[in-house]
Structure 1
Amino acid sequence: MMDAETVGRGGRVRSVLRRWPTAVALALFVPDVVDGVPTDPGAAATFGEALPLLPLAYLVLAKWGRRWLTWPVVFAGVACVAALRAFDLMAPSTFLVGVALAVLVWSVVDGDLKRSGELRLQAVGVLVFGAFALAGLAIDVDLGRYVVAAGWLFHGVWDFVHLWRDKVVARSFAEWCGVVDVLVAVQLVFLI
């Protein structure tokens, strides 16, 4: 028979295991934040280039209607961004915005955009967060950093709303991405 302390500890362990996305996100960022490690001033541009990936993943998943593909879609997007940076083929934001436009045109042509309120919501997200990214990259570097940080922060809110709604993306991704987005925003504002 288990005593109350064992049951309590097991409950805490299960609770922590259910929050694995938050734990992974914190493990990625907290060491730099705690150490006060400054971020490279070019990080704002790097994060600005990557910001369109976030709403694009939501758009693609809303189009396909397959939440179980969340992590593969995100990993493929990250791999594309990394390859574009490594081979200096084009700005990742240009590629991501192009893919988003292609998905939007496809959705208009096949009528999905008209039929699906969820897809329309994600289309608005693509436009709003894409505007944050492009504005942040186009204006003065110092001001652009704050615009890009605001885009990441608002996308974190977007993630938590989707976590609460339990729609479009896997809950684990919405939780992980929400924490990462807020931490990126904090890093952009306070550690550059």
Structure 2
Amino acid sequence: MHALAHRLPAFTHRWPTLVALALAALTFLDGGPSPAFLAAVLAAMPLFYLLFGALRGELRPPRVLAVQLAALVGFAAVALLAVAVDGTLALLVLAAGWLGHAVWDAVHFVTARVAPRQWSEWCGVFDACGALALVVAAF
């Protein structure tokens, strides 16, 4: 029992990952939302980083804001491409976008800037699970 009690704090420290895994299972195991919805979410996800950055006062120097805005444009472009194509290609484009956003989350997690680390951890795990679910759905 002592060994479990000793490990419990480390386990609970990863609560964002646990929440993300549970939400991903609920979201994607039954086939998931429509590709159009997932494209809209992909386009909107960078808005959260802009919001967090603004609220935390971490969009300075100006290059930080420029990088965040470039990410917004980039993810929106991938989302638009995904809705412009059909079928398997749309799912794979979305998967690439969601995986790219998971990497974007990882950068924010490691740097601990712009957004809270818990948010970046949660979002990164959820996005990676979403990307995997989209690849599975494509095949």
> TM-score range, shorter-chain basis?
0.7 to 0.9
Deviation at 1:11, TM superposition (A): 3.1
| TM-score, length of structure 1 as denominator length | 0.64
Aligned residue number for residue 37 of structure 2? 46
Aligned amino acid, residue 45 of structure 2:
L
State the partner residue of 1:24: 19
- Separation in 1, partners of 2:21, 2:91: 22
Please state if 1:10 is matched with 2:5.
Answer: yes
CA distance in 2, matches of 1:116, 1:11: 45
Equivalent residues, number:
138
Identity %: 35
Equivalent residue number for residue 150 of structure 1: 96
2:116 maps to 1:170: yes
Out of 48, 51, 55, the position equivalent to 2:46 is 55
Match of 1:70? none
Contact 1:51 1:151 in 2 (8 A): yes
Q: Equivalences for 1:128-139 in 2 at 5 Å?
A: 128-139=74-85
Kept in 2: contact 1:62–1:168 (CA 8 A): yes
Range with bigger deviation, 125-134 or 58-67: 58-67
Q: Taking structure 2 as the reference length, what is the TM-score of the superposition?
A: 0.86
Stretches of structure 2 that go unaligned for 5 or more consecutive residues are none
Report the Cα distance in structure 1 between the residues aligned to 2:56 and 2:69, rounded to whole angstroms.
14
CA contact (8 A) 1:52 1:130 kept: yes
Pairing 1:127–2:73 present: yes
Rounded to whole Å, the distance in 1 between the matches of 2:94 and 2:11 is 31
User: For 1:27 and 1:63, how far apart are their aligned partners in 2?
Assistant: 29
The 2-side partners of 1:140 and 1:32 are apart by 22
Q: Which amino acid aligns with 1:11?
A: H
1:62–1:118 CA contact under 8 A, matched in 2: no
Output one character per residue of 1:23-63: Cα deviation in whole Å (capped at 9) or x when no partner.
Answer: 01111234677xxx4515x6222101111121111123223
- For 1:64 and 1:32, how far apart are their aligned partners in 2? 29
1:52 partner SS: helix
Question: In the alignment, is the contact (CA less than 8 A) between 1:39 and 1:191 conserved in 2?
Answer: yes
How has the CA–CA distance of structure 1 residues 29 and 65 changed in structure 2, closer, same or farther, with 3 Å as cutoff? closer
Does the 8 Å CA contact 2:91/2:137 hold for their aligned counterparts?
Answer: no
SS of the aligned residue for 1:39 comes to: coil
Greater displacement, 16-25 / 51-60: 51-60
